[in-house]
Structure 1
């Protein structure tokens, strides 16, 4: 593959949604590597409506030119379509060939309002829907939020030539929930692109830095309700009654955008279940330190009740870590080596699996497992980057 391509990428997430920002970073790194391998002259521009947080500015600036578009007052913007006009000028002036991802809600990221196609001009583009959590767990959303997501997906599906999904599971959901949608689907499974410095760092030092015992389980999820810390803590309570006391380190933001009531309830549960002394709530920590804790831990636990394609699972795969997973269809699709599954809302099943894992596995890192996983990851990253590059150039079609 040769020739030139100017790729425009829309920023997703940040500290409030680390998974979105990691998705963007992995996409940029994998695509850049694929372009270098193929001799494609790739230029990349990252569009954002907000100043990037320093941690993301530092990581993303080497990968793309960062262009901040002005966000106007909401009512004025909606009336005059100022965000749409700003993006149109930026795409035209820079000669962007392909823009990705636009989602069902682009107002907070770029100030865009549907319809979006008219402002994109000659720039090809694709949508992205991370998951259908609101359809599977509607009880976690307000009526207004449910309408906002459904209306946005309907509009995106009517305008986008193609919508990208990170799993076959989400693509099937799309065809089930929007059977008459015009937009085609394209499945692009992402993977974690490793930083070689991760494997040279001292995992034991990170464990000691956070005051953790030598052996611990790791949960790396924001404290949103669907991440299902409640079932994990209930399982720890059951194990405590049986004299089994695994230590658990939890990384991830302790803020829930829906409100703090759930987080405070979880804290109270730790006390009521008498397991507070075994659980370390570390909050959001630097990415490199989180990776070292994952290398050091006995196993990774991912109890989530909804995922589009779990970044945590891909991190664990890269590092050769055992994983305990809720029995989601998408987790089965990801199917990391040696995974142990449990029914997502069954504390009893999770307790049984945790007891087995805790009793059998040592602390990490495991050099042999890491080396095997790194070899597999190199091939996966190459395939991910190549497939997206072909898609961006129009050489790979959607279903």
Structure 2
């Protein structure tokens, strides 16, 4: 039995990361629990809702080493920075006889514990102006260190692989593409979740974080165009309303645009809402919209794909690589093209249902999840051949 450890050291507000880890652990547990034993190391003060999220798929180990602003956490960080070695984490992993440490932003000196690190995307190569000089320098340094010192690097798309190779061409042999799959439990629910607190009637749904590259503005401009034609569509947005790179100036700009153009009845900002509600909103929407200029591998697309929901997508490479069957593509700078797609879907919404029955969706999801788990197991087998 191979013991694989994960350090849950990032803020829980990073919902994309939380869901990614949950989906990966679920897939491993479902299809390879006889070969891989999962240990999830979490902060000592992690809320119970997250323990509940993971406990069926991993052995949960609480530790202050990754609990921010504790003394062990500080010692760990100082040791890594100045000595390039973290004795506290080393002892922790050795105590539980971990063979591989995965997706943890951690590099291990020596060969006794193999390391797999995940780089979601290389956005800063395409949109450096969205980053400060300090942030860019940090991203470059971290990625360089992981790529140099990890036994295996995982990226979520061939598009991201192309970016990595453009900067680190000599390291392609240690990189694996691992397409993640979202597990929307809503497919298993017999009773729908009540979303009347959020909306009445038809709506489009845009469940993205409020970073500038997510391109919410083009959707609001399309809504304005439709309103000029006399069509009052409704768009719900959800996600953490925080863009640290612009010190939230971008978020305020979006709010102001909606107010200045009298779109407050057409656009709703729900903020951060429970994940189960996100899935229900996806399921009942006319269509989901992802207008992003850049993605690593969109969880919004994966969730919509798993649920069988129509989705309106910017025509970027990675969206086309994800290839959802119910997709409508548009130029992310063209509000008229987007408005036309939205108009057609809105006017024909009453005729639209999920294209597949629930049973077929579950079969499709199971097949995709097995491929996800098998691809991860193949990476483990390469690192630890029997």
For normalisation by structure 1, the TM-score amounts to 0.87
1:373 counterpart residue number: 361
Q: 1:287 aligns with which of 250, 265, 275?
A: 275
Cα deviation 1:51-72 (Å, max 9, x = unaligned): 3344322212332223322311
Q: Do residues 252 (structure 1) and 242 (structure 2) align?
A: no
CA contact (8 A) 2:187 2:307 kept: no
2:213 counterpart residue number: 226
1:59 counterpart residue number: 53
Cα deviation 1:10-53 (Å, max 9, x = unaligned): 326554321111000000000000124xx33x321113457334
Label 1:285 to 1:365 Cα distance change in 2 as closer, same or farther (>3 A): farther
- For structure 2, which runs of at least 5 residues remain unmatched after alignment? 66-71
| Structure 1 residue 312, shift from structure 2 partner | 0.6
Q: What's the Cα RMSD here?
A: 2.4
Q: Do residues 72 (structure 1) and 62 (structure 2) align?
A: no
Cα deviation 1:117-158 (Å, max 9, x = unaligned): 31x650111121100111111111001111111121112221
- Following the alignment from structure 1 to structure 2, what is the Cα–Cα distance between the partners of residues 337 and 356? 18
| Structure 1 residue 6, shift from structure 2 partner | 0.7
Between 320-329 and 281-290, the greater mean CA deviation after superposition? 281-290
Q: 1:200 aligns with which of 169, 190, 195?
A: 190
| Structure 1 residue 91, shift from structure 2 partner | 1.4
Q: Do residues 158 (structure 1) and 148 (structure 2) align?
A: yes
Label 1:365 to 1:8 Cα distance change in 2 as closer, same or farther (>3 A): farther
**Partner SS for 1:381:** helix
2:69 counterpart residue number: none
Alignment: residue pair count: 376
1:43 counterpart residue number: 37
For normalisation by structure 2, the TM-score amounts to 0.90
1:306 counterpart residue number: 294
- For structure 1, which runs of at least 5 residues remain unmatched after alignment? 107-115
Q: Do residues 16 (structure 1) and 7 (structure 2) align?
A: no
Label 1:275 to 1:143 Cα distance change in 2 as closer, same or farther (>3 A): same
2:68 counterpart residue number: none
CA contact (8 A) 1:327 1:342 kept: yes
Label 1:307 to 1:241 Cα distance change in 2 as closer, same or farther (>3 A): same
Label 1:192 to 1:121 Cα distance change in 2 as closer, same or farther (>3 A): same
Cα deviation 1:56-101 (Å, max 9, x = unaligned): 2221233222332231168844566597111111111111111111
Label 1:62 to 1:348 Cα distance change in 2 as closer, same or farther (>3 A): same
- Following the alignment from structure 2 to structure 1, what is the Cα–Cα distance between the partners of residues 352 and 53? 27
1:214 counterpart residue number: 201
1:33 counterpart residue number: 30
Structure 2 counterparts to residues 380-395 of structure 1, below 5 A: 380-394=368-382
Q: 1:185 aligns with which of 150, 175, 180?
A: 175
**Partner SS for 1:290:** helix
Label 1:13 to 1:92 Cα distance change in 2 as closer, same or farther (>3 A): closer
- Following the alignment from structure 1 to structure 2, what is the Cα–Cα distance between the partners of residues 45 and 8? 5
Q: 2:345 aligns with which of 353, 357, 366?
A: 357
- Following the alignment from structure 1 to structure 2, what is the Cα–Cα distance between the partners of residues 242 and 356? 13
**Partner SS for 2:342:** helix
Q: 1:7 aligns with which of 4, 11, 14?
A: 4
1:143 counterpart residue number: 133
Label 1:56 to 1:278 Cα distance change in 2 as closer, same or farther (>3 A): same
- Following the alignment from structure 2 to structure 1, what is the Cα–Cα distance between the partners of residues 190 and 87? 47
